[in-house]
A and B are shown apart, each in its own frame.
Chain A
Amino acid sequence: MAEVKLVALEKKFGDISVIHRINLDIADGEFAVLVGPSGCGKTTTLRMVAGLEEVTGGSILFDGKAVERLEPKDRDIAMVFQSYALYPHMSVRDNMAFSLRMKGVSSAEKKRLVGIAAEMLGITDLLDRKPRQLSGGQRQRVAMGRALVREPKVFLFDEPLSNLDAALRAQMRIEIKRIHQRLRTTIIYVTHDQVEAMTLADKIVVMNGGHIEQVGDPLTLYRRPVSRFVAGFIGSPKMNFFPARLLADESGLHADLGEGIRIEMPQERDAAYRPYAGRSVEIGIRPEHLLDDARPIDSGAVAMDVTVDVVEPLGSTSLLTFVLGGTSYTAIGDVALMRRPGGRVRLRAAAKDIYLIDPESGRVVHPADDASTPVRLAI
């Protein structure tokens, strides 16, 4: 177990800089998820922590000790690869015992440790098979088992679930979380799937273009994204971004979304939003906060009248797609209302669920006193 620190970590391939001096602290026993679109540098960062990629600049500290010049074998890490990377010429047992063999652990001890890990993952009856005789899900378990037999300082996961089907992925997600709750080993986990990030992480690190956009626990990232990128990346379905003009009149600030749609800005955000008056901004509203239901519109809420384009029933709710100014947006509807394409609906959002984004900087403008907004569960 170890605390991991990245200090001004930098990576260049030739002249191309792919990681720009990032800083990150991961506490001992923490489950940290690096998430971002492909090419954002998350896998490169993980590989630098593993020692599989040379560091161009900066430092990687395990419990305060610099490891960036050490060989992977000397870092005391265990890694699960996206491809699983099982040794095809070895049985499952030998695959799992490989790291112990490299350490010179006695046969009896090897057997015991492999047995424990196999038990934990429910693969005891597969130990004598070769990897080619396993299904994708079983291979994934073996790859995890190979990492689990040791007690490394840090577990590294590189998109371990991306080759599984949706049902297995959900199951393995729970299992990984359970294993972490039991072992409490520091984990760095890379994924492009924000659902995995939200469900697994103690700490999410959103990366974009070789930078860290934001670090925080899942709910903070969901509620207080610092940028349009994070706001759009975290949450499913994706947040709606409406281009608008922020206008001021005697009743306060309001956003004009075009097509006669006007959103009154709450009074308490006036100070934060005032500098943007008269300018083009973006208004962000998550689909799960933009509702079409039978309740009357209350006073603290905003409303917009739109024409339904597509209806996707999900069972308990339905996704309503509507078009404004040539762009598609999503709202959540009540299935009981039986909306049809072409019908007019009035969508409602609570004022506190509205985000204002400065389109020039891409930053979300947060009112200073907004931190205590109560959490609303999605869908």
Chain B
Amino acid sequence: MTGRSGLQWLLLGLAVALLLAFAAFPLLWMGLTALKPSTEIFTWPPRLLPEAPTLSNIERLFAQTHFVTYFKNSVIVSSAAVILTLLLAVPGAYGLTRYRFFGRETIAATVLFTYMFAPIMIIIPFYIVMRTFGLANTHIALVLAYCAFSLPFALWMLRTFFQSIPIDLEEAAMTDGASRFRAVIHVVIPMALPGIIATAILTFILAWNDYIFARILISSDNLKTLPVGIADLYNASVIDWGMIMASGLLVIIPVIIVFSYVQKFLVAGWGSGGVKG
């Protein structure tokens, strides 16, 4: 809140508007197209707002495709991936922060290194492993894949969060009669909550948006997730753009809802004041 002049504010506003337009316009276009009847989609010159707004695209999506199944599959797989990742990453990151053992730093560094592999590089071996275990074409395979991919980042991020929690707080809890486990439950986890939520969101988004793993690992139509299911809409003889845009709209709505709800937890930390005067 320093003294910026009117001109500076104007320029800043313009820059923000430009960036916003760049990021938001495709979304807006998608949303508006989803509400247009098929005849309006290809009119020239293009019109931004639908002349006769309709929900027929969405109706067709529900009636003629397995959209609901895909949606359900996506919710199940993404949620399971989040839960499994957190169950492994929270204790793992805590261990990498609080226990001293041989090779701790090497493990922490190597973990991040694995994050640098592109999914495409390991997808074939991963498929073979899953097939060997009889897990190909199951949701379990997808959950394991997403977990394997988000775990390095989750460990790294949560470790940073745990490191920022003063060890005094845990020690205080222990001298107050808590076991280490209860100290973690009552003190460490509440304080690391913003980090845990951020990790959950990133894992959820990774799983929700994934195309490549779902494409390779899943073959049955009734097990497909949204990205693959929607992509298959292109394979129809006539590409129904209205329906594709409608599905795009429905895919991002839950993400937006979750984001706006969870955002308040993300405002980092509980503020200082626990330690030191």
Q: Taking beta carbons and an 8 Å cutoff, which residues of A are in contact with B? A: 50-52, 71-73, 77-79, 81, 83-89, 98-99, 102-103, 130-137, 139-140, 146, 150, 156, 163-164
A219 and B95 alpha carbons, distance in the complex (Å)? 49
B 164-204 to A, binary, CB cutoff 8 A, 1 in contact else 0: 00101101111111110010001100110000000000000
Q: Are A84 and B277 in contact (CB under 8 A)?
A: yes
A130 and B175 alpha carbons, distance in the complex (Å)? 21
Q: Are B173 and A98 in contact (CB under 8 A)?
A: yes
A84/B177 contact (C-beta < 8 A), A79-B172, A89-B190 known: no
Jot down 14 A-B pairs with beta carbons below 8 A, ordered by A: A50-B171, A52-B174, A72-B175, A73-B179, A78-B175, A83-B276, A87-B169, A88-B169, A88-B274, A102-B177, A102-B178, A130-B270, A132-B271, A146-B172
A139/B277 contact (C-beta < 8 A), A71-B174, A73-B177 known: yes
Q: Given the complex, which residues of A lie within 8 Å of B46, measured CB to CB?
A: none
Q: Given the complex, which residues of B lie within 8 Å of A140, measured CB to CB?
A: 277
With A72-B174, A85-B274, A164-B277 known, 9 other A-B pairs at CB within 8 A are A84-B276, A85-B172, A85-B275, A87-B169, A87-B186, A130-B270, A133-B273, A137-B277, A150-B177
Q: Given the complex, which residues of B lie within 8 Å of A156, measured CB to CB?
A: 175
Q: Are B270 and A89 in contact (CB under 8 A)?
A: yes
A99/B176 contact (C-beta < 8 A), A85-B169, A87-B187 known: yes
Q: Are A136 and B171 in contact (CB under 8 A)?
A: no
Size of B's binding interface in residues, CB under 8 A: 25
Task: Please give me the residue from chain B that is nearest to A73 by CB atom.
Answer: B177
Q: Given the complex, which residues of B lie within 8 Å of A98, measured CB to CB?
A: 173, 176, 178, 186
Q: Are B275 and A84 in contact (CB under 8 A)?
A: yes
Task: Please give me the residue from chain B that is nearest to A138 by CB atom.
Answer: B277
Which residue of B173, B186, B276 is within 8 Å of A163 (Cβ)? B276
Q: Given the complex, which residues of A lie within 8 Å of B179, measured CB to CB?
A: 71, 73
Q: Are B191 and A50 in contact (CB under 8 A)?
A: no
Q: Given the complex, which residues of A lie within 8 Å of B172, measured CB to CB?
A: 79, 81, 85-87, 146
Q: Are B187 and A77 in contact (CB under 8 A)?
A: no
Q: Given the complex, which residues of B lie within 8 Å of A131, measured CB to CB?
A: 273-274
Task: Please give me the residue from chain A that is nearest to B169 by CB atom.
Answer: A85
Q: Are A88 and B191 in contact (CB under 8 A)?
A: yes
| B264 shortest CB reach to chain A, Å | 15
Task: Please tell me if B2 contacts chain A, counting CB pairs below 8 Å.
Answer: no
Task: Please tell me if B5 contacts chain A, counting CB pairs below 8 Å.
Answer: no
Which residue of B166, B178, B182 is within 8 Å of A85 (Cβ)? B166
| B163 shortest CB reach to chain A, Å | 16
A77 and B166 alpha carbons, distance in the complex (Å)? 21
Q: Are B171 and A88 in contact (CB under 8 A)?
A: no
Q: Given the complex, which residues of A lie within 8 Å of B235, measured CB to CB?
A: none
Q: Are A79 and B277 in contact (CB under 8 A)?
A: no
A79 and B176 alpha carbons, distance in the complex (Å)? 8
| B276 shortest CB reach to chain A, Å | 5
| A130 shortest CB reach to chain B, Å | 7
Q: Given the complex, which residues of B lie within 8 Å of A84, measured CB to CB?
A: 274-277
| B96 shortest CB reach to chain A, Å | 20
Within 8 A of A (CB), among B130-180: 166, 168-169, 171-179
Task: Please tell me if B8 contacts chain A, counting CB pairs below 8 Å.
Answer: no
| B110 shortest CB reach to chain A, Å | 24
A34 and B122 alpha carbons, distance in the complex (Å)? 59
Task: Please give me the residue from chain B that is nearest to A146 by CB atom.
Answer: B176
Which residue of A72, A89, A163 is within 8 Å of B277 (Cβ)? A163
Q: Which 5 interchain pairs have the tightest Cβ spacing?
A: A136-B277, A132-B273, A88-B274, A85-B172, A99-B176
A52/B276 contact (C-beta < 8 A), A88-B191, A88-B270, A102-B182 known: no
A88 and B270 alpha carbons, distance in the complex (Å)? 7
B 242-261 to A, binary, CB cutoff 8 A, 1 in contact else 0: 00000000000000000000
| B269 shortest CB reach to chain A, Å | 8
Q: Are B171 and A102 in contact (CB under 8 A)?
A: no
Which residue of B168, B190, B191 is within 8 Å of A83 (Cβ)? B168
Task: Please tell me if B272 contacts chain A, counting CB pairs below 8 Å.
Answer: yes
Q: Are B176 and A102 in contact (CB under 8 A)?
A: yes
Q: Are B273 and A130 in contact (CB under 8 A)?
A: yes
Task: Please give me the residue from chain B that is nearest to A137 by CB atom.
Answer: B277
Q: Are A134 and B186 in contact (CB under 8 A)?
A: no
A343 and B235 alpha carbons, distance in the complex (Å)? 105
A72 and B171 alpha carbons, distance in the complex (Å)? 9
A60 and B114 alpha carbons, distance in the complex (Å)? 46
Q: Given the complex, which residues of A lie within 8 Å of B271, measured CB to CB?
A: 88, 130, 132
| B175 shortest CB reach to chain A, Å | 4
A73/B178 contact (C-beta < 8 A), A85-B171, A140-B277 known: yes
| B99 shortest CB reach to chain A, Å | 13
Q: Are B191 and A89 in contact (CB under 8 A)?
A: yes
